[in-house]
Structure 1
Amino acid sequence: MNSFSRVCRNFQKNVILHQQCNHYSTHKNTSSTEYCLDLVRQYDYENFLCTLLLPSESRASAFAVRAFNIEIARVQDQVSDPRLGQMRMKFWEESVEKIFANDAPKHPVALELHRASKKHKLSKRYLKRLITSRADQLASSSFPNLEALEMYAENSVSSVYYLLLEASGVENIHADHVASHLGKAHGITNIIRSVPHNAPRQIISLPQDILLQHNVAHEAIFRARVTKEFKDVVFDVASRAKTHLDKARSLSKNIPKSASLLFLPAITIDSYLERLRLLDFDVFSGSLQRRNNTLPFVLLWNKLLTKY
């Protein structure tokens, strides 16, 4: 127990240290590595904690991948004109080409991604897939059905896990299958979690066929009306996420132990889905928006157990 307590204290110190990192644009002495780390901490705290627990030899590259994903994911929130959004996506598309031509732009995320790609031979196709999926989402934020949402999750989230596997030197077909299923679970859960954020902006990303099946109008979601029918919609979507999560976990015995750490976000997905279930699928509940203060220690415990 003393050993575990000591590990916990060291991990907590790391979290506090990284929380104090300053933004690259306001502090010239901040390195590109620190910029990526702080970007993930600020906009993707759960994955920030998971990435902190990775081995030192792959941690910086993992933060570069996640920072890149955040940069393109945030475009939708940063622009009101889709044309401006497409211009930003074009910048990142060109940046990826330059990165693989050893001519990375002087942007901290691009510089870190260049280092990561040289060190671990990251696949360009996954980076471009991340851009394409987000660019398509700019043009149309709705999904006709669950299958379309699954495909979006595969392209926009599973691709991140494929890159993390490459950054960790893991080549295993079962690990690839876990990455695919966990990415789908993660992406679908992200869509559910985004409902309270997107509703005031009149953006509906829940599958249209399920909304029609349960006779839920867009206006009801915009007004945050939590009806039984709306809860049924959330239940159907969450059930698909849980199916993929369970499948990803069922493959845990077939993958290298080194890969298990990459899939720690499964803990955060499961935690959210369970809290959602206990709240009877009221996605607008304020308790779902609050940070889980025990998460760092839950993640650390699962790392020690080599579980996800």
Structure 2
Amino acid sequence: MGLGSNLINFKTYKILKMPAFTTRFLSKIAESNQDSLNYCANLVRQHDYENFLATLLLTKAVRSPTLVVRAFNVEVARIQDQTTDSQTAAFRLQFWNDTLKLLYKNDQTLKNIPANPIAQELFKVCNSCKLPKRYLERLIAARGNILKSKHFQSLEDLEKYAEDSVSSIYYLILSISDVTNVHADHAASHLGKAQGIVNILRSVHVASYHKTVTLPMNTLMKYGISQENVLRGIDNENMRNVAFEIATRANSHLEKARAIDVPKKTKQIFLPAVAVNAYLKKLQKCNFNLYDKSLQLGNSTLPLNLYYNRLMNKY
């Protein structure tokens, strides 16, 4: 998720007024409950950098609650990377399921919420913005399902995962922004699918490190690519055909999202589309070689591109 944190030094970063905390110091702050919002913001900055940049450009009323939602997503998503033991991962996911039940309990108070900075801030956001519980549950369930299955059988399965794990975040941000619009929901669905598919393409080298293959099995078999080929990072014409087919599906969803006429105030929410498009362009430039080292480098022009699109009210 995280890309080149050295790119953070541009004007909009001052909006949050966040000092450069160390991870250890952040833990102490979180434990003492002195600055849990900054903890959430830094977690997103460290592990979901591109979405962090886009979030900085949201209007003030939406920005902080969005960072909390994205921090919750990061925390849940990281569970599969933090442990190789499936039982431990299941316990951690269950903690968040149990926490959600507490957050939505009638007449609940902050003192009864676990002393976790994300849980504490999420409780505040849920109460003030009336977040739909089902989308938070989907974020957890999506990660639980992939932990069990370890792979996607088809592109359609990958799309379903992307809908649950990424589109759900956009639905939550729309709720924070008090947007009730079927066209905005439709665009959020397509953008989430595009971004989710791109996330899988980008994570191929990381997934290989964990000895897992998340590219759709049916697509790999169609071009005669084995899981071992993927894990070994073998680049050939068939592997590039796999990447091309999956990237084409992502681009199709991106184009559909951008073609939908959505309310003006929602366009800032969909700014991450800029980063999705940039990756797909870069992948095309390196002829769909998923292992090209240039794909793992940060995008130095992304902050300016995001800022330009925000000024032009485009995504």
TM normalised by structure 1 equals 0.93
Aligned equivalent of 2:206, options 197, 201, 213: 197
Aligned equivalent of 2:27, options 20, 25, 28: 25
Residue-by-residue CA offset, 1:212-253 (whole Å, 9 max, x unaligned): 0000011111111101100100110000000000000001xx
8 Å contact from structure 1 (residues 22, 38) kept in 2: no
The CA distance in 1 between the partners of 2:18 and 2:203, in whole Å, is: 26
Aligned twin of 1:70: 74
8 Å contact from structure 2 (residues 33, 117) kept in 1: no
Aligned twin of 1:224: 233
Cα displacement (A) at 1:30: 4.8
Q: Which amino acid aligns with 1:92?
A: W
Cα displacement (A) at 1:285: 1.1
Q: Which amino acid aligns with 2:308?
A: W
The CA distance in 1 between the partners of 2:19 and 2:264, in whole Å, is: 28
Cα displacement (A) at 1:18: 3.7
Aligned twin of 1:303: 310
Kindly report which structure 2 residues correspond to 1:55-94, keeping only aligned pairs within 5 A, or say none. 55-94=59-98
Do structure 1's residue 154 and structure 2's residue 163 form an aligned pair?
yes
Aligned twin of 1:173: 182
Aligned twin of 1:267: 274
Unaligned runs of 5+ in 2: 1-8
- What's the % identity of the aligned pairs? 43
TM normalised by structure 2 equals 0.91
Aligned twin of 2:264: 257
Do structure 1's residue 241 and structure 2's residue 250 form an aligned pair?
yes
Cα displacement (A) at 1:14: 4.3
| DSSP 3-state at the match of 1:26 | helix
8 Å contact from structure 1 (residues 129, 159) kept in 2: yes
Aligned equivalent of 1:294, options 269, 292, 301: 301
8 Å contact from structure 1 (residues 19, 38) kept in 2: no
Cα displacement (A) at 1:26: 3.4
Residue-by-residue CA offset, 1:6-54 (whole Å, 9 max, x unaligned): xx96325448x54724543134475110010000000000000001111
Unaligned runs of 5+ in 1: 1-7
Aligned twin of 1:11: 12
* Corresponding residue pairs, total: 298
Please say which of residues 68-77 and 282-291 is displaced more in the overlay. 282-291
The CA distance in 2 between the partners of 1:22 and 1:115, in whole Å, is: 25
Residue-by-residue CA offset, 1:115-170 (whole Å, 9 max, x unaligned): 11111100100000110110011111211100111011101110010001001111
